[in-house]
Every structure is written in structure tokens, then in C-alpha cells.
Amino acid sequence: MRSARKAPGELDEERLVRLVARGDRAAFEELYRRTAPWLAVRLRRRCADEQIVAEVMQETYLAVWRAAGTFAGASVGGTAVGWLWTIAARRLVDAFRRRAHHAEPPPAAAVADAVPAAEEEVLAATVGGDVGDALRRLAPELRQVLQAMVLDGLSVRETAVLLGLPEGTVKTRARRARIAMRRALT
């Protein structure tokens, strides 16, 4: 009689996480195969340093292996992919904090503010016209929240983790950004 158990490739991500919680290496490998490419892309949107991205990827999947049993899943309205991104975003924020704590600012750091960030250049090239002008006029803290939530498609919680802000602050900044954009476009 054949086993009723499905192969890891036939399971959804939530079921894979549940199997990983039981120590199933094949399920972990399948979860990694499915999620690592998009996770790396999302992390690279936030960090151009490949070494940090690689470290965050490794720390993320190690955390998934160790903490898969804590995944609450659909019972709390979450998804396995969202859970994975939350872990990665927290690890990225931690990596930024570690690097900032150990790094001495270069003497030319004051001049660096005048040079637009790569994200700003991409945003300018992607979003043009009146909308692009309105985005560029937003205060940087409002623009960061809007970029994370609208352009990257992050939830309030994921944005809060990524930017190291309380969820209430993210909601307030998102609302202020929408109001400012509406005014600028009318």
C-alpha cells in the first residue's frame, strides 16, 4: 500500500514549515528552494552589500530551522512566506545595527547626504511626472514608509520591523504621506 504522504514539492509553504518543525530535511530544502530566490531579491532592494545579504539569508534559514515550531500560521492570519520575510527583515535590521555600532563614520560622511541613494535614483527613474515629483518632495521618513508599503508591498508590521519603528508610527507616517501625496496631486 502506498503512503498517503505527499512529496515536499507538492505541499504549500505552510505545510512545509510544519514539517520543518518536525525536523524534516527534505521539507526544509524544498522551502529553501522555493523561497530563497525571492527573499534574496527583497533583501537586495534594501541592502546593496552582498556580504550582509548572504549573512542575513544564512541567519534567516537557520532561524527557520530552529524556530519552525513557533510558526502560528493561518490561525493568526499569517502566512509562511510573511513569517519568513519578517524573520529576514529583523535579521537585516540587526545587521544594519551591528554594522552601524562597529563602524566609524568616514570623514566625508557629511558630504554623503548630498548624494542621492541608489533607491532614490531607481525611484526617480521608475516613477516620473507629477507622482514622481510629489514623492521626491515628501519628507524622507514619509517616503521610506511609502516605498516600503506601496512599492515593496510590505505590511505595516513588516515595514515597522524593517525600519525599526513602532507600528503606530508606521501607520501615522503612511497616513501623512498619503495626505501629502493627495494634496500635491490635486
Strand boundaries in the chain, DSSP class E: none
pLDDT in tens, the chain (186 residues): 444 456 666 788 999 999 999 999 999 999 999 999 999 999 998 888 899 999 999 999 999 999 998 887 766 667 888 889 989 988 988 888 787 666 555 444 444 444 444 445 444 444 556 667 777 788 888 888 888 787 777 788 878 877 778 889 999 999 998 898 888 877
Give the separation between CA 157 and CA 159, rounded to whole angstroms.
Answer: 5
- Asked whether 13 and 35 are in contact (CB, 8 A), the reply is yes
Give the separation between CA 86 and CA 80, rounded to whole angstroms.
Answer: 10
